[in-house]
Structure 1
Amino acid sequence: MVNVNLEDVKKAKEVLKSIVKETPLQESKTLSDRIGANVYYKCENLQKTGSFKIRGACNKIANLTDEEKSHGVIASSAGNHAQGVALGAKMTGIKSTIVMPETAPLAKVTATKGYGAEVVLNGLVYDDAYAKAVEIQKETGATFLHPFNDKYVIAGQGTIGLEIFEQLDGKVDTILCPVGGGGIIAGIAIAAKGLNPNVKIIGVQTDNIPSMKESKVNGKVTTAFKGATIADGIAVKTPGDTTFDIINELVDEIITVSEEEIARGILFLMEYQKVVAEGAGAVTTAALLSGKYKPQQGENLVCVISGGNIDVNTFYRIIGTGLAAEGRRYSFSATMTDKPGGFLELISIISKSDANILNANQTRLSSGGAIGKQVAEFIVETFDHDHIERLKDEMNAAGFEIQDLK
């Protein structure tokens, strides 16, 4: 039974009108031409605190009683809800404590502290932080602010849906939205389906933590965790029961994307859209680039970029992964006969193929200790996967033993 409706979302919009930004809706000509749909990006990465989470957090805080505010607030978060709660609490003049996973990006931890919150680190994923927050809440009596399984939080996130419809004059066919615990997609689904029941709502999760997808398949809340993810903002093992009920009723489909596909999405957004997105914010792009979601020709398709709070060091590593996935960076080892001119011959082949050497490391003996052999490891810039295959063919034809490196 859905306990949040379109009127709740409209009330939230009134509450938030002087607090949050109306974020831009940007068309992507490159992606539109590539997939044959009219693709627009809802840029919540440009929202205050760098993510949509401030909408739900501030709507919830605005609806607290004076008694609840007097005890201060506590929240658990992978990072973005943390910043929304911290800023909302600071604006309201109340104390906030935030429990975050130890794996939360340093940028998110630092930003949360910068908004005046006390930060406690615990566990590897959101669920671990949540357990610790519940423990602290019992000890202190602070008011707990759930990041997604809450009526006011869901309504606050739903204001994104209202803005999308206003910005496209109601001409919306499909909305692709990241899914973790389910707060943002539940809110957007309520708003969008309330305005037009025919709008398709598609959720996107990571392959590594497909909790809402499996919940929808099983018809009940299901815990799922297969490994860590670069999409830390949606790293939720167990979704909420409230959000699940809404999603089960209103969301048309949930698909999943791989870590490599997410990295490609981040790279695409930076290179072609000039947008910095965190992993969770790039999953919708990943769904389109990978072909996991195939739109109808000419439809108006909105991809929600949920946030842009990505650690610079993480960003650097992800870009490398994305370049490799695109065939624009290739790492390999070459075993050759230990003779004068062998290494120079290999470099000459690479140069003539128009590949650019980024790194080269030569050893005297192969790892197996074979007499008269040496191994060199390279990282080179290439144009695409076809270019890599041509380069490998040329090196193999010259007698070099080539092995791909991760």
Structure 2
Amino acid sequence: MLTNYTKKILQSRVYDVADKTRLDFASHLSRRLNNQIWIKREDMQPVFSFKIRGAYNKIANLPPDILQKGVIAASAGNHAQGVALSAAKLGIRAVIVMPKTTPEIKVISVKHRGAEVILHGTTFDDASKYAQQLMIEQGLTYIPPYDDEDVIAGQGTVGMEILQQHTKDLEAIFIPVGGGGLIAGVAAYVKYLRPEIKIIGVEPIEAACLYEALQANERVILDQVGIFADGVAVRQIGALPFEIAKQTVDEVLLVSTDEICAAIKDIFEDTRTITEPAGALALAGLKQYVAREQCQDKNLVTIASGANMNFDRLGYVNERTEVGEQRESLLAVKIPECPGSFRQFCHTIGQRSITEFNYRYADNAQAVVFAGIRLSDGLEEKQRLIKKLTEKDYAVIDLSDNEIAKSHVRHMVGGHAANLTDERLYRFEFPERPGALLHFLTSMSQKWNISLFHYRNHGAAYGRVLVGIQVPETELDAFHAFLTRLGYTYWEESNNPAYQLFLN
């Protein structure tokens, strides 16, 4: 079987339209991980994904009479663009059926490549069934995304290039897994020529179709899949890829959303390219492997499989990156509800950078603070910090792995406060440096109670801070004098309608 696929890979016609992409040395990441990390840059293809290889090889190998009738595919992403560009290159008709829920940016991209786009249903299964119907009605040829020998052979040229570009010892190649076309093609070629090289698949925890199939020794259908890494959100591994994987894949690693987000940032820091979640999936697995094996000075290759990232997802990725890298800890801490308690809490934290600080007055006895704290030494530092807070009699709950806290609660801390008097709302710009918050609290008189606090580090020179402070009318002159001495830019927002409607 491997001989047959290797022959097909060598005869593949992908280079009529696809590029031989670079194998880049990731210098920053290599220093951090104490290994030689190489990134196969499939994000640099004309459609920003490896999918062009398999799609074109399949279409280009169709008999001329079949080819001229046109092709059809069902896809909401990279496969659609690969089919569209391949058809345009060969001058034939291409129809792409996409769910109605497909983001407009992807629909426009496929149309710009000359394909006819039909929006049908709300899921990929709806689109796929309709594409099969149109295939019969219009005499078109269906181009599968992964479960096809020619598609697998096209994707396998990625493995061929890696061995051409890296001729020295190679410990492992890490490959993202969706339907399995890429890992099947790469594994078939690499294991035929260099069986000592480990082939390691990487899947999201919420879309582990190959992992579960290997565990069961048969293809299984997942009840549901997570869609954050939508490029690999597949419920069942392909039949042909599974047969190859059983013989060639050494193991499959499962990674979290936070780990994927951290890997997106890692690739950006070395390449200045922002991959899509599926594009950084393999690197997340590589990092997990290095941490587990404690290996050093090994040559490790990861495939950056695509860069079709929607711009509006970047904020979410940034939000999750620091937690995924153990560079930020999210803590819920109970402190006394009294003037000066914030200051004492910050003294306990010390000179660590605070990335977020959410608080809203609830009652006269106890306050609950939601704090994000920058970590320079990962998990060990977080454990030291929690121990220090506990020794100071603070009740601490670690929310760093709490999905609801990370996705929702951190943006929802607040609400109306009952029986609260003399509250005044101010918006500040704090200089983004360690100690800025502590300076604010230390400079302020303990006569004034902080009743609301929200701060988030946005990566800019100044942090945006919203503060509610209880200041009686008789203390206003002294309070304004404090603001002048403080020297931070501020605006009073007590009459802001958002405050009046939701917080006051």
Partner of 2:25: 27
Distance, in Å, in 2 between the alignment partners of 1:46 and 1:24 is 8
Partner of 2:327: 328
Partner of 2:361: 364
Q: Do structure 1's residue 10 and structure 2's residue 7 form an aligned pair?
A: no
Matches within 5 A, 1:142-291: 142-169=140-167, 171-291=169-289
> What SS does structure 1 have at the residue aligned with 2:97?
strand
Aligned-pair distance for 1:29?
3.5
Aligned-pair distance for 1:348?
5.6
Q: Structure 1: which amino acid aligns with 2:11?
A: K
Distance, in Å, in 2 between the alignment partners of 1:321 and 1:202 is 25
TM-score (norm 1): 0.85
Q: Do structure 1's residue 61 and structure 2's residue 49 form an aligned pair?
A: no
Partner of 2:424: none
Distance, in Å, in 2 between the alignment partners of 1:11 and 1:295 is 39
Q: Structure 2: which amino acid aligns with 1:258?
A: S
Confirm or deny: 8 A CA contact 1:79 1:105 kept in the other structure: no
Aligned-pair distance for 1:49?
0.8
CA-to-partner distance for each residue in 1:243-283, whole Å, 9 max, x for gaps? 22222223233232222322222222223454422222222
Partner of 1:319: 318
> What SS does structure 2 have at the residue aligned with 1:238?
coil
Q: Structure 2: which amino acid aligns with 1:321?
A: R
Structure 1 residues 238 and 2 mapped into 2: Cα distance closer, same or farther (>3 Å)? farther
- RMSD, aligned CA: 3.0
| Unaligned 5+ runs, structure 2 | 400-404, 406-504
Confirm or deny: 8 A CA contact 2:336 2:366 kept in the other structure: yes
Confirm or deny: 8 A CA contact 1:127 1:238 kept in the other structure: no
Aligned-pair distance for 1:30?
4.1
Confirm or deny: 8 A CA contact 2:338 2:364 kept in the other structure: no
Q: Structure 1: which amino acid aligns with 2:202?
A: V
Distance, in Å, in 1 between the alignment partners of 2:293 and 2:388 is 37
Determine which structure has more spread, i.e. the larger CA radius of gyration: 2
Structure 1 residues 324 and 301 mapped into 2: Cα distance closer, same or farther (>3 Å)? closer
Partner of 1:93: 91
Distance, in Å, in 1 between the alignment partners of 2:35 and 2:273 is 20
Structure 1 residues 104 and 322 mapped into 2: Cα distance closer, same or farther (>3 Å)? farther
Structure 1 residues 376 and 143 mapped into 2: Cα distance closer, same or farther (>3 Å)? same
Structure 1 residues 398 and 24 mapped into 2: Cα distance closer, same or farther (>3 Å)? same
Confirm or deny: 8 A CA contact 2:264 2:274 kept in the other structure: yes
Confirm or deny: 8 A CA contact 1:28 1:41 kept in the other structure: yes
Distance, in Å, in 2 between the alignment partners of 1:225 and 1:271 is 36
Aligned residues: 397
Confirm or deny: 8 A CA contact 1:209 1:227 kept in the other structure: yes
Further displaced range: 371-380 or 230-239: 371-380
Q: Do structure 1's residue 339 and structure 2's residue 338 form an aligned pair?
A: yes
Partner of 1:300: 299
Aligned-pair distance for 1:239?
1.7
Confirm or deny: 8 A CA contact 1:205 1:283 kept in the other structure: yes
Structure 1 residues 319 and 85 mapped into 2: Cα distance closer, same or farther (>3 Å)? same
Aligned-pair distance for 1:242?
1.6
Q: Do structure 1's residue 120 and structure 2's residue 119 form an aligned pair?
A: yes
Residue identity over aligned pairs, in percent, reads: 34
Matches within 5 A, 1:373-384: 373-383=366-376, 384=378
Confirm or deny: 8 A CA contact 2:120 2:126 kept in the other structure: no
Structure 1 residues 161 and 361 mapped into 2: Cα distance closer, same or farther (>3 Å)? closer
TM-score (norm 2): 0.70
Aligned-pair distance for 1:84?
0.6
Aligned-pair distance for 1:145?
0.3
> What SS does structure 1 have at the residue aligned with 2:265?
helix
Q: Which has the higher contact order (CA 8 A, sep 6+)?
A: 1
Q: Structure 2: which amino acid aligns with 1:316?
A: G
Structure 1 residues 252 and 102 mapped into 2: Cα distance closer, same or farther (>3 Å)? farther
Distance, in Å, in 1 between the alignment partners of 2:213 and 2:384 is 45
Confirm or deny: 8 A CA contact 1:206 1:229 kept in the other structure: no
> What SS does structure 2 have at the residue aligned with 1:5?
helix
CA-to-partner distance for each residue in 1:326-371, whole Å, 9 max, x for gaps? 2333444444443334345445655x4332354x444221xxxx54
Confirm or deny: 8 A CA contact 2:25 2:36 kept in the other structure: yes
Aligned-pair distance for 1:51?
0.6
> What SS does structure 2 have at the residue aligned with 1:291?
helix
| Unaligned 5+ runs, structure 1 | none
